[in-house]
Amino acid sequence: MIYFDNSATTRPYKEVIDTYTKVSLEFFGNPSSLHPLGKAAERLLQQAREVAASLLGVKTKEVVFTSGGTEGNNLAIKGTAMQHRGRGKHIITTNVEHASTKETFRQLEGEGFEVTYLEVDSDGVVSVDQVKAALTKETILVSVIHVNNETGSIQPVTEIGGLLRQYPKIVFHVDHVQGIGKVPLHFAASNIDLCSISGHKFHGLKGNGILYVRDGIRLYPLLTGGSQERGSRAGTENVAGVAAMVKALRMSKERSAQAIKKMAEINSWLERKCLEIPGVVVNSPNPRAPHILNLSVPGIKPEVIVQALAEHEIYISTKSACASKHAEPSHVLLSMGFSSDRASSAIRLSFTYDNTMEEAEAFVEAFASVVASLKKVVNKQ
C-alpha cells in the first residue's frame, strides 16, 4: 500500500494508540471530580498541557484543548467576533481558506459582520500590502491559513504578524493545521494571537486539537457549561485523547527536522517526473510546503483517477477531504487564476515522514499507466 493522502489524515503511531488505551483504562476519572481518580486524571491533563506548551514554545495557560481544527478555527473566529463586536464588525481573510474557516466567515456575514476576502496571486499567496490596505477602524480580526491544504502555498504569516504589531487591538488568527510538523512557525515571533492545530494531521487520533490563545486574549465561548479550559470551552476533557495527541506531537517534532528535507526531495522529484507524463500539469507553486503536490490532468475526472490508483493500492485525494465529495471546481485553484477545466481535474498528493522514494517511483509508474489508459477512453468518446 502507498498512502499519499496525509493531508486528509495520517496513520496514528502505534505508541499513540498504546498511550490512548493505557490512559483510558487507568486514568478514566473525570478531571473535575474531587476523589483520587479525578485528581489523577487532572494531574495527567495538566502534565500533557505543560508538555504541549513546551513543544509549541508557549505558556502552559495558553494551551486550550479542542476536538480538532474545525472547532479551533470556529472558536478563534466566532469567539473573537462575538467578544469584540462592540468595537467593530470587520474581518480580513483570504479567498483560499479551508472550509472550516470559509463557512464560518459566511455565517458571520449573515450576522451582520463585514468580511474582506483578499485575492491571492498565481502562487496562491497574499501580500502584506494587501492586508494593510484592507484595514479599517472597524477591523477586529485578521485570519489567515498558514499552509494551504490543497496546493501547499505558504502565506507570509510572520510578515503579516509584524504589520499587525502596529495595530494591537486587532486579533491575529492563523490556521496552522497543515503546517504543524511540516512548516515551522514561531507563534511569538509571528505576533500570533490565536493558532489552530489538529492531532490527526501529525499521527495522533481524530477528535483532538489545540487552540493556542495568547495570554490576554479573551474569547466568547461557543460551548457553555462548566469552567473547563479556563472558561473558553466547557465539557469534560478527553484526557486519553489529549495524552495521545501530545505523544504524537512530541514524536513528530523529534522526527520533523530530517523528515522535512526528505519530503521536499520526494515532492520535487515527483513534480519533475509527473510533468514528463503527457497531459499532466502541476498546480502547486514553488516554493511550497514540503508535503503537498497538486496536479491536474485536464479532460479526466479526478475521482476516476483516484479510484483507478486505488486499484493499485495507491491512495490520494482530489481536493481537501472536507470538499472532495463535491463536484465543483476547486475554489483555491480558481482563485489562483487556473481555468475551470484545470480546477475541476485536480488531484492532491500529500506526504508524511514515513513515505519513501521507492513509493514515489511506484506511484509514477502506476500514474503514467492510469493516465494513458484513461486518455484512450476519453479520446474514443
Catalytic residues: 322
175 near 98, Cβ under 8 Å?
yes
Please report, for residues 124, 147, 226, 273, 287, the alpha-carbon distance to residue 338 in angstroms, rounded to integers and kept in the order given. Answer: 11, 19, 48, 22, 18
> Quick one: cell of 362?
511506484
Spatial strand order of the sheet with 281-282 comes to 281-282, 292-296, 346-350
Residue 223 backbone phi and psi in degrees, to 5: -115, 120
4 and 315 Cβ atoms separated by less than 8 Å: yes
Closest CA to 119 of 136, 142, 103, 96: 96
Nine-digit cell at 103?
463557512
What is the Cα–Cα distance from 131 to 230, expressed in whole angstroms?
32
Tell me if 190 sits within 8 A of 207, measured CB to CB. Answer: no
C-alpha cell at 75: 472558536
